[in-house]
Every structure is written in structure tokens, then in C-alpha cells.
Amino acid sequence: MLSFTAVKRAIQLPAISTKTASMLATSMPYPIRSGISCAATHAVFSSSSKSNHTFARVQKPAPAWSATAVVGKEFKKLSSEDFLGKWLVLFFYPLDFTFVCPTEIISYSKAAEEFRKLNTEVVGVSVDSVYSHLAWIEQPRKLGGLGDLDIPLVGDITKNISHNYGVLADSGADIGLSLRGTFIIDPKGTVRQITINDTGVGRNIDETLRLVEALQFVDEHGEVCPAGWKKGEKTMIPNPTKSKDYFKSVAE
């Protein structure tokens, strides 16, 4: 059976794509077609295996990014490197000039100072352009606009950031838009928490604050935080014997 390489060499075909090879294969007699089909199929799987993409994962380095953002009412280049040494809440939302999105963005903006007290910056991202962001910021809140913001909005018009963080919808009514992904990234650039909502449900910003506080507590004290933990409440030592002190205290 002739291989695809042999056939290509024999008839002096130029370099062609796998798709073209498959089309060529179906137009040839069976003995040759089967050889090319096998080669083309192998090429598809080889290409796929080489291009396996790893999205953002907890305990792994956050995907690097660089893009233009609206900061205040100015355009400014931002990158993931700008936030090394600080905690970062990177949140994605579907689209400008929509309905749930402004409630989240404004809530994050109002809480920006609380986050900064925790050495944490907040950055919003959508697949809109920075021009769309700016127009939305300049629209009054009573008309569905954002008004002045205390957080940057990144224009991910290439959709690369959304793709790399695994929040880009690839099917259905929201195809091409970002889902409501929230990523808490520590000062070393490691992803520590991921939450992704469907587009119809807004986030709880107080919960994001709580998670940042909990992660920082764990890093600082080496103890772990039980369900629903809030700052000042009891934690536990991750040890079979010492953890009993916690369970004993909450059972009383």
C-alpha cells in the first residue's frame, strides 16, 4: 500500500494541509485512497496531540497575557506581569451594554478599595474593544452604563485571553463570548481559585473577598479554613490529631 508521503513525492505535490489531503484521498482509487486516508488521519491526531492546549488550572501558573485596557478613561497597555507581587482577581464577563454584566462590574468597582487593603487588584475582561468599554463607561448608570470605574477593563478583542483561561464559549447562543469566569491569582502568578458561572447568573463579590482572605490566611498561618469560613473565625490544623480541637469546639 502506498503511503501518503510516497504518493506526494511521486506526483510532486506541494505542501498541503490535512484537509486538502483528505479531499484528495477521497477522489482517488481505493488502494491509493486508503493509504492517504491513513496518513491523513495520522496527521490529524499528530497535529492535535502536539497542539493540546492547557487552560488555566488551580495550583498552576496563570496564562500570561498582554492587552490594552481602559484605566479611568484612558487607554493603557496592561499585562499579567504588572500584577506580580500582588494578588489579582481576574474576572471575565460576556459583553458590554448588556444586563447582568454592569451589576457585577459596578459591584467590583465599589469593592476595589476593600480588595486593595488585601494587596489585591481587580481587572475585568471581555471580548469587546476598548472603544466599546470607554463608551459604556461614559454612559450614566441610570441608563445602564458603568459610569466612573475604579478598576481597569481589558479589551480582549482577539479572544486569546478568554481562550487561554478556558472561558470562551464555543457553542450555543453565547458562542464567541466569555463566560463569567473568576480567577484568583497569587503574587507568584499561580492560580489559586477558579469559578465559572453560566451567563445568566451574576457573581457574589463578597464571596470573592472571602476567598481572597481565606487563601491569604492559609498562606500566612499554614492552617486550613473550613466551609463558609470568614475572617476571625476558627480554623484548623491539617493534622489527624490536632484537627480534633476544631471539631470539638464547633460541636460544643
* 70-81 mean pLDDT: 98
Indicate the average pLDDT of the chain.
85
Q: In this model, does residue 220 exceed pLDDT 70?
A: yes
Alpha-carbon separation of residue 169 from 14, 126, 187 (angstroms): 36, 12, 28
Closest CA to 235 of 243, 244, 225: 225
pLDDT at 102 over 80: yes
Query: What is the rounded average pLDDT of the residues 102-116?
Result: 98
Residue 232 reports pLDDT greater than 70:
yes
- Is 218's pLDDT higher than 80? yes
Query: Under CATH, which number does the domain 66-209 receive?
Result: 3.40.30.10
Q: Which of 24, 101, 134, 161 is catalytic?
A: 101
pTM summary value: 0.78
> Is 101 a known active-site residue?
yes
pLDDT at 73 over 60: yes
Burial of 135 (0-12, 13-18, 19+ CB in 10 A): middle
Mean pLDDT of 38-49: 37
The whole-number pLDDT of residue 45 equals 32
What's the mean pLDDT in 121-142? 98
